[in-house]
Amino acid sequence: MQNLWRDEDAARYPGDLGLRVYTSRLLGRDRTLVLHGGGNTSVKLVERNRHGEDEDILYVKGSGWDLETIEAAGFAPVRLAPMQRLAQLDQLSDPDMVNELITNMTRAGAPTPSVETILHACIPYKYVDHTHADALLAITNTPGGEQYVREIYGDEVIVIPYVMPGFDLARLVAHEFQRQAHTGTRGMILLKHGVFSFGGTAREAYERMIELISAAEEFLVRRKAWSVTAPQKPEICDASLELAQLRRDVSAAAGAPMILRVRCTEQTRAFARHPQIGRLSQQGPATPDHVIRTKRLPMLGRDVVAYAQAYRAYFDAHAPHAKAPKTMLDPAPRVALDSAFGLASFGRSAKDARIVEELYEHTIDVILRAETLERYEALPARDIFDMEYWDLEQNKLKKSGKAPVFAGEIVLITGAASGIGKAATESFLARGAAVAALDINPAIEAMHQRTDFLGLRCDVTDEKATEAALDEIIRRFGGIDMLVLNAGMFAANRAVHELPTAQWREVFNLNLDAGFALMRACHPYLKLAPRSGRIVVIGSKNVPAPGPGAAAYSASKAALTQLARVAALEWGGDGIRINTLHPNAVFDTGIWTDDMLAERARRYGLSVEQYKANNVLRTEVTSRDVAELAAELCGPLFAKTTGAQIPVDGGNERVI
């Protein structure tokens, strides 16, 4: 394992808390140590209170912060002495523990302290680091895990049997630290959970962590249990309606739309085809910390109904012990293993699905290394259930608030690199949708760097290119719930008798034919949308009120509008709603150039500014105005509207 400490980098983080931030980020950068909010770090400082008295303060990672990006504000300051006294109690309920943590904070606006705060307080070192290192999990998730740990470290580490995080674990650590610790102690191993290192300085604690994990990796190498997976070479898997159907079934089990993300690599497909896949995958996760995201077990194959029935039986068998109410039950899988596509992950958002994917890829490595070393052996189901339905975790879910209106849903937007399409991308992202954006402009690919955005360079007049784009969208998100047909062109003004056939056909090819082909290709996916499919067609004021010099544009938009009306009639039985917006004078789009705008203003005898607001309301219509209405048309307010044509023009006398 590589030591990432650099003196010149550390110098940019002044003070003890600054160095705590620096080494926390170093740990967070290594995905084999911590993933997506996992792990924990702390530092003990002396600060002066309002009375001028020195107090020992424990700064511990706060809830909701990730070690890779944590800042000083991400550490919760808690009075140390009360935390150490709590560890002396015989018992303390989780709600009471959280209350004690919060009431002993010295800054009201700080994040909620970690549930491992008392544990950190009991370790008598200034800096404490905690990770869920893959290498240690592979070693301790075996029948001989403790024996291997003793073989690797001797008496240099304290060994703690698995106990669920919280007060009981903190109390046990306090006791065992006093019993096992000595001057040569440099770490602590929590079996099937993780590893702690500590030191008098940030560098000492960090480098001890590197040394501890390196020793575990070297042990696995010696036992030929390190390089056990195939190289991760992406392999194109057929994106078919079966994946969209799988997403629909999982969404039905979850009671809400879900994102499906396919990870088809040599590693994932080889694992899905492993001759012992049933035994290896149906025990539990590599660490209970992952169960909140990935659930207890992955689904083998695609029978969601059978998985949900088995999960309900599992819940019924264990809920009496944990007193978990039925309202907590979510029988939908978060991971599916299938020989055809390898690994599929599910989440209420694209981010959640990506997190699940990464967690389970690391789980595969842990399982196969443990199996090569001896035999993979996860925690008993009861321990995993207790973690999955832990009231503290359930309270986090309750506090997360109401889900965005399009959470778990996918929208495909054409012509998304500028104008109305670009604004629509922003509008749908703001409402929680995953956005697949197509445009012939290559800038679309880098328009956003986020997991819920997929920008694809695509000429929508090329049906093969469009089919390839749809395949990639299905692999990334699992389906298409909404379609915004926005790509279009406005050719130079020509009277009908001067209009070249080539220009006529070029305009129709993009404005009409491409829209028809994409609607047809998306229809089977829209039929499978968990909340029914929706299409918004961006038409034009020129449909009800054409103007001279725009024959090709006006006729193509009119034909597209008529196509939408017919499709609304035909696809209503499939639950698909299709509505059309007719914007006018939206001048911040790619269609309008400065020269075109000036020419049209001169034709009407107006200045450019007067021309922009040349409507009944004397207001300018922007791309965002159209985009916001397009998003609303896909939302619940218009759930019973289809076949509508709505002007977005500030009021046009000829239309009215």
Enter the tokens of residue 461: 């007049």
What pLDDT is recorded for position 238? 63
Please name the helix (run of DSSP H) or strand (run of DSSP E) that holds residue 362, with its range, or none. Answer: helix 350-373
If you search the block for the tokens 């392999």, which residue do you land on? Answer: 235
Token code pair at residue 489: 């062109």
pLDDT of residue 130: 97
Instruction: State the pLDDT at residue 126.
Output: 98
- HEC assignment per residue over 187-246: EEEECCCEEEEEECCHHHHHHHHHHHHHHHHHHHHHCCCCCCCCCCCECCCCCCHHHHHH
Q: What is the DSSP letter of 119?
A: H
From CA 186, how far away is CA 68, in angstroms rounded?
A: 24
Give the pLDDT confidence score for residue 427 in this predicted structure: 98
- Sheet of strand 259-263: strand arrangement: 259-263, 342-347, 335-338, 299-300
Q: Judge whether residue 591 has pLDDT over 80.
A: no
Do residues 562 and 544 touch, judged by C-beta distance below 8 A?
A: no
pLDDT at 396: 58
* Average pLDDT of span 333-360: 94
Q: Which of 422, 419, 427, 465 is nearest to 447 (CA)?
A: 422
Cα dihedral 201, 205, 206, 208 in deg (nearest 10): 130
C-alpha 156/C-alpha 158 separation (Å) is: 7
Mean per-residue pLDDT, 523-537: 98
As a whole number of angstroms, the distance between CA 314 and CA 355 comes to 24
pLDDT, tens digit, 9 for 90 and up, residues 75-94: 999 999 999 999 999 999 98
pLDDT of residue 397 exceeding 60:
no
- pLDDT for 315-342, tens place per residue? 888 776 555 566 667 899 999 999 989 9
Q: Which residue has the higher pLDDT, 240 or 68?
A: 68
Q: Residue 300: helix, strand or coil by DSSP?
A: strand
> pLDDT of 215-253, one tens digit each?
999 999 999 999 886 555 555 566 689 999 999 999 999
Q: Answer whether residue 190 shows pLDDT above 90.
A: yes
The answer to whether the beta carbons of residues 634 and 570 sit under 8 Å apart is no
Using DSSP's 3-state secondary structure scheme, residue 292 falls into: helix
Q: Which of 153, 553, 604, 611 is catalytic?
A: 553
CA–CA separation, 607 vs 235, rounded Å?
57
Query: Which pLDDT score is estimated for 383?
Result: 82
- Over residues 20-45, the mean pLDDT reads 93
Split at pLDDT 50, 70, 90, the class of 138 is very high
So what's the pLDDT on residue 284?
A: 85
pLDDT at 385: 80
Give the pLDDT confidence score for residue 64 in this predicted structure: 86
* Model confidence at 104: pLDDT above 60: yes
Q: Is pLDDT above 70 for 393?
A: no
- Which residues have a Cβ under 8 Å from the Cβ of 338 and sit 6 or more positions away? 272, 300, 301, 302, 344
Residue 553 among the catalytic residues: yes
Residues 189-215 as b or e (16 or more Cβ within 10 Å = b): bbbbbbbbbbbeebbbbbbbbbbbbeb
Give the model's confidence band at 603: pLDDT under 50 very low, under 70 low, under 90 confident, else very high. confident
The residue assigned the tokens 């629909």 is: 248
Maximum distance among all Cα pairs of the chain, rounded to whole angstroms = 97
Which phi-psi region, left, alpha or beta, contains residue 64 (left: φ > 0; alpha: ψ -120 to 50)? left
pLDDT given for residue 234 in this prediction: 52
pTM score of the predicted model: 0.91
Report the pLDDT averaged over residues 298-315.
92
Residue 94 pLDDT: 87
Whether 269 has a pLDDT exceeding 60, the answer reads yes
Please, which residues have CB within 8 angstroms of residue 434's CB and are 6 or more apart in sequence? Answer: 259, 349, 350, 409, 410, 411, 452, 453, 454, 477
- pLDDT in the model for residue 322: 55
pLDDT tens profile 41-67:
999 999 999 999 999 999 999 988 999
Write down the residue that tokens 């959970």 correspond to. 193
